[in-house]
Structure 1
Amino acid sequence: MRLAVARYAVPPGSVDRARCDRCGTPVGLDRPLPALGPAARCPGCRARIGAPPGAVEAALATAVAVLALADGPLGGRAAAAWWLAWAVPLALIDAAVHRLPDRLTYPAAAGVWALLGVAALAGAGPAPWLRATAAGLVLGAGFAATTLLLGRRGFGLGDAKLALGAGALLGWYGWSVLVVGLVLAVSLSALVGLALLAARRVHWSSHLPFGPFLILATALALLLAR
């Protein structure tokens, strides 16, 4: 997860990071520490690489807690585990550079769809899987429509791709859970935006990344669906 954040937390249109920005030391799984450990430091010049120290670990611990507390059949929880594993680096990347790379959003959505399909074949039946598929498509299309209609004032296409998996996961548990997740995401985004405005940390024209709020709201909605 730290490698994903370090590699993809670059401005849109930039080449994926494979080396330290300061000294050029290669960063990868062949040299995992300290750059990919909790210290998040380049092994050459000790500059910080990727997510802040402890951020990935704290997010992963939160995801594990959600899975431990969430209710439901094994198939739904397996899909949630898959999605959260991709959502942790996605949230940190979006928070850092306002980017949700396709290499993470597409596997997240495809895995959720496939695992829920297995759960349907294992006994849950086709109805919840069809609802989950429809929910993911509806939420993703709705987000994409705001981009086409409103431009920068709408959600980004990365948010729409993230919504494919989030919508399917929430739709598995019911349309009401999907609505709760969406309302939570928008509410959390609005509250944080107002707080940042009050603290004069952002301007009215600033654009907050929505991915972290959608991910957090999806996790909260899964807990409320118990």
Structure 2
Amino acid sequence: MTRQPASPAPPDRTVTPDVPPSGNAPRPWQLAAAALSITPLLRYAVARHAVPPGTDRRAGCDACGAPISLHRPWPALGPTARCGGCGARVGAPPAIVELTVLAAVAALLLARPPAVEVVVAAWWLAFAVPLLFIDLAVHRLPDRLTVPAAAGVWLLLGLAALTGAGAAPWLRAIGAGLGMALFFAATTLLLGTRGFGIGDAKLALSAGALLGWYGWSLPVLGLLLALTLSGLVALALLISGRASWSSHLPFGPYLVLGTLGALLLVW
């Protein structure tokens, strides 16, 4: 009797070929390009609102009066930030808005927060970036930017609550925004010009809500980061002789940076 050869043993496991990632997800360069496409609007906001207190909005170049509008955006609202008529600088310094937007996109890509939170952060940054440069230039945070920033953050977080997160984080976010705003407003009422401004309180409505979504401790952390950063900068300016004890420094940029720093810690 002839013995049949034994059939080969099946492999221990099946090896499947690697599946390429879906091509539907946007690539980093696509996100960066999309963000850069809105930088003329951010520059427009800076150019229009970076005016002294008591002035409504800038309508044209300060040097030659050439109109600044969405109908005639270039080159004044481009990266060079130069008036098309006389070549004078208009708004934020050249390329700085674009570099700030790219840095924010890079932070979001590295942190990879949930999609809903990316949308909320993107909305807030669309207003926070121009507010940062406006406050640095003229020490003011206009209502035309702080109010829609807060309204959009509250609304988008409310939609996130309705679609699964629940009411508790949304109510906590609203409470944190109101609490932080009241803190800034109270210093203004009690200390006058030595305290924070009402514009800072209005910016805190959105910044506090963003942080409060993740818990009560994060608004405190964001505020501490902002205060620490502003204190270090003030100390450096005092030592270098570029500021005195009576100088008033804008706090909006530090509130923006402190908020982003705290968010990156939880993302």
The one of 64, 74, 87 aligned to 1:33: 74
1:152 counterpart = 2:193: yes
CA distance in 1, matches of 2:176, 2:114: 19
Aligned ranges 1:110-149 → 2 under 5 Å:
110-149=151-190
- Relative contact order, CA 8 A, sep 6+: which one is greater? 1
Q: Which amino acid in structure 2 is aligned with residue 129 of structure 1?
A: W
Structure 1 residue 71, shift from structure 2 partner: 4.5
* 1:95 is the counterpart of 2:136: yes
For the 8 Å contact 1:188–1:213, the answer to whether it is kept is yes
Matches within 5 A, 1:76-225: 76-225=117-266
SS in 1 for 2:88: coil
What is the identity, as a one-letter code, of the residue corresponding to 1:113? Answer: W
Which segment is superposed worse, 88-97 or 68-77? 68-77
Give 3-state SS (helix, strand or coil) of 1:173's partner: coil
Alpha-carbon shift at residue 31 of structure 1 (Å): 1.3
Q: Which amino acid aligns with 1:84?
A: L
For residues 75-118 of structure 1, give each alpha carbon's deviation from its aligned partner in whole angstroms, at most 9, with x where no partner exists: 22211111011100000000000010000000000000000000
Counterpart in 2 of 1:10? 51
Residues 6-65 of structure 1: CA deviation (Å, up to 9, x unaligned) = 000000101310111111100111111110000100100000000000111111112212
Matched residues in 2 for 1:102 and 1:67: separation? 27
Unaligned runs of 5+ in 1: none
Task: Tell me the TM-score normalized by structure 1.
Answer: 0.98
SS at match of 1:62: helix
Q: Give the distance between the partners of 2:99 and 2:247, measured in 1 at CA.
A: 27
Give distance in 2, aligned partners of 1:29 and 1:100. Answer: 21
Deviations 1:101-151 (A, max 9, x none): 000000000000000000000100111000000000000011001000100
TM-score (norm. length: structure 2): 0.83
Unaligned regions of 5+ residues in structure 2, if any? Answer: 1-41
8 Å contact from structure 1 (residues 137, 164) kept in 2: yes
Q: CA–CA distance in 1 between the matches of 2:151 and 2:56?
A: 25
Q: Aligned equivalents of 1:69 and 1:115: distance in 2?
A: 22
Structure number with higher helix proportion:
1
- Secondary structure at 2:213's aligned position in 1? helix
Superposed CA RMSD in Å reads: 0.9
Q: Distance in 2 between matches of 1:155 and 1:207?
A: 10
Matched residue of 1:203: which SS? Answer: coil
Q: Is the 8 A contact 1:71 1:225 kept in 2?
A: no
Find 1:67's aligned residue among 108, 133, 137.
108
Identity over aligned pairs, percent: 68
Deviates more, 1:58-67 or 1:47-56: 58-67
What SS is found at the alignment partner of 1:27?
coil
